[in-house]
Amino acid sequence: MTAVDRAIAERPPPAAPARRGGRVVVVRSALTAWLSRPLADFHLLLAIFGLLTAIGLIMVLSASAPGEVAVGASAYSVFQKQLLYVAVGTVLFLIVLRIPLRKIRHVSTMAMLACVIMLVLVLTPLGTENYGAQSWFIIGSISFQPIEAAKLALALWGAHVLVTKRALLDQYRHLLVPVVPVALVVFALVMLQPDLGGTITLGVVLISLLWFVGAPMRFFGVIAIGAVSGAVVLAVGSPYRLERVMTYLDPDKDPLGAGLQARQALFALAEGGFFGKGLTNGSSKWRYLPNVHSDFIFAVIGEELGFIGCLVVLGLFALLAVVGLRIAARNTDPWIRMVSATLTVWLVAQAAINIGYVVKLLPVTGITLPMISSGGTSIVTTMVVFGILASCARHEPEAVSALRSLGPGRVGGVLKLPAPVAYKPPPKRKPVRPSTPPRGRKAAPPPVDERRMAGRHAPPSEYRRRDSRRATQDRSRRRDGR
C-alpha cells in the first residue's frame, strides 16, 4: 500500500457533520409535522396556561411569605387567597370552554353595558379606595375590580360591532361609532378612579381592535399624538403621576422614597445572576421591595431563578404571542379572528409593560404580570381569557373536522368538551327593492325590451317600422269602410 493510499484509508470519515445536520432536519420535520396537527394550538395553549399558573403559585408563595410573617400574619395567607382565586378561575376556564362562542358574542353587548354601570357605581360610596384608587368593590373578604372585566367586555363587544359593520368600515363614521365613543367613556370613568395602568391596557385593547379591523395608518398617527398629549397633561396635572415620571428619568434623586422600588428591583435582578439564588433564598422580599408579590414579582423571579427563570417566563409569553396570532390566522370566522388576536395582544402587551418597568425600561404604572402576580380579579379574568382563546383554537376548521370525525381526543374526553360547531358565513342578503317614489313625482315607466316583445328574428327598428305601417293601413281601411 502506498503512502497516498494509507493516508486516504486513515482519513476520518466526514459523517459527523452530516449526522448532526440530519438530526436538525429530522427534528425540524417532526416539529413542523406536529404543529400542522389540527389541535396543536389547543394543546400548546393548555401547556402555556398550566406552566404560567404553576410558576405564578410558586412565586407568590415564595415572595409573600416573609412579608406576611414580618407583620404577624400567616406565611400562607396571600398564597391561600391566590390558590382560591386560581381554583375559581380554573372553574370559569372550564365553563367558558363549554359555552359556544356564538353565545359569548351575543351576550357581549349586555356585558359591556354592565361593565359601564359598574365603573360608574365604583365611583360612588359603594366603591372602596385601595392603593390610592377608588376602583374596588369589597364585600367581606371578597374584592372585585370592574376594570378587569371591562377590558374583556370591550374586546368582545368591539369585535362584534366592527365585524357586523365590516362592509361599511371604509367610512370613518362607521369605523369610529360606536366603539370609540364608548371606549372614551370607559377611559374617563377609569381615570376618575384614578387608574393609569387600567387606562393603558384599555388603550391597548382599543388600538388592537382598530388595527386588526384594518383602520388606516393615519388614524393611528392621530391616536399616538392624542395619547402622548393626554399623558403629558395627566402627568403635569397630578403630583403622583409627575413624581413617577421624574423618578423614571432620575431614580437616584430620591433613592429612599419615590425611587426605592426601581432601585431595589434592579438590585434583585443583579443579585440573581445567571442561575439565581434558589427558591426562597431571595433577600428583596424581606420588606426591601414594596409590592413584591404583585407588581414587582418579576424581580423575585430574577433574583431566585436567575436569568434562566426570566428567560423561561419571557419564552412562555413569546410562545403565547405566536400561538394566539396563529389561532387568529387559522380561523375563518371574522369575529373569532379579531377576538383571538386582540386578547393575545392584550395579555402579551400587559406582560411586556410589567417587565419593562421592573427592568427600568418604562415608568412604573402598576400593571400586574398576567398569571403570575398575586391578585384575585386579575388572575380570574386572565384565566377566562385563556378559556376563550382555547375555545377559539378548537374552532379552527381543521380542528372542527377532526373533532367531529375522530372524536374529542384525550384532552376533550377527559374534560368532556362538546364538539365545536363549524363556521357558516351569513347568507347573502337579497337586493333591496327600490322604494316608492315620493308624492308629486311620477315614476318613470320601466324600460321595454322591444326584442323580447316583438321576437328575436329582426332588429327592433325593423319591427317598429313594420308595426307603424300596419297601423296606418288598418286606419285607412277603417276610414274607407266607413
pLDDT class of 4 with cuts at 50, 70, 90? very low
Q: Residue 194: pLDDT above 90?
A: no
Q: What is the pLDDT of residues 364-420, one digit of tens each?
A: 888 999 999 998 899 999 999 999 999 999 999 999 999 988 888 888 888 888 888
Q: Which of 46, 35, 75, 191 is nearest to 123 (CA)?
A: 191
pLDDT at 480: 67
Q: What is the pLDDT of residues 331-348, one digit of tens each?
A: 999 999 999 999 999 999
% of the chain exceeding 90 in pLDDT: 44
Which residue in the block uniquely carries the three cell numbers 426591601?
A: 288
CB 365 within 8 A of CB 70: no
On the question of a cis peptide bond just before residue 178, with omega within 30 degrees of 0, the verdict is: yes
pLDDT at 439: 54
Q: Which three cell numbers stand for residue 23?
A: 438530526
% of the chain exceeding 70 in pLDDT: 83
pLDDT at 450: 47
pLDDT at 267: 87
pLDDT at 431: 53
Mean pLDDT across the chain, nearest whole number?
84
The span from the CA of 95 to the CA of 441, in Å, is 60
pTM of the predicted model as reported, rounded to 2 decimal places: 0.83
pLDDT class of 451 with cuts at 50, 70, 90? very low
Least confident of 132-141, 176-185, 463-472: 463-472
Q: What is the pLDDT of residues 209-230, one digit of tens each?
A: 999 998 988 888 888 888 888 7
Least confident of 72-81, 210-219, 260-269, 296-305: 260-269
Q: What is the pLDDT of residues 267-294, one digit of tens each?
A: 889 888 889 998 888 888 887 788 788 8
pLDDT at 329: 95
Of 375 and 241, the structure prediction assigns the larger pLDDT to 375
pLDDT at 463: 52
Least confident of 34-38, 100-104, 159-163: 34-38
Average pLDDT over residues 87-95: 96
Over the chain, what HEC string results?
A: CCHHHHHHHHCCCCCHHHHHHHHHHHHHHHHHHHHCCCCHHHHHHHHHHHHHHHHHHHHHHHHHHHHHHHCCCCCCHHHHHHHHHHHHHHHHHHHHHHCCHHHHHHCHHHHHHHHHHHHHHCCCCCCEEECCEEEEEEECCEEECHHHHHHHHHHHHHHHHHHHCHHHCCCHHHHHCCHHHHHHHHHHHHHCCCCHHHHHHHHHHHHHHHHHHCCCHHHHHHHHHHHHHHHHHHHHHCHHHHHHHHHHHCCCCCCCCCCHHHHHHHHHHHHHCCCCCCCCCCCCCCCCCCCCCCCCHHHHHHHHHHHHHHHHHHHHHHHHHHHHHHHHHHCCCHHHHHHHHHHHHHHHHHHHHHHHHHCCCCCCCCCCCCCCCCCHHHHHHHHHHHHHHHHHHHCCHHHHHHHHHHCCHHHHHHHCCCCCCCCCCCCCCCCCCCCCCCCCCCCCCCCCCHHHHHCCCCCHHHHHHHHHHHHHHHHHHHHHHC
pLDDT at 114: 96
Average pLDDT over residues 228-248: 73
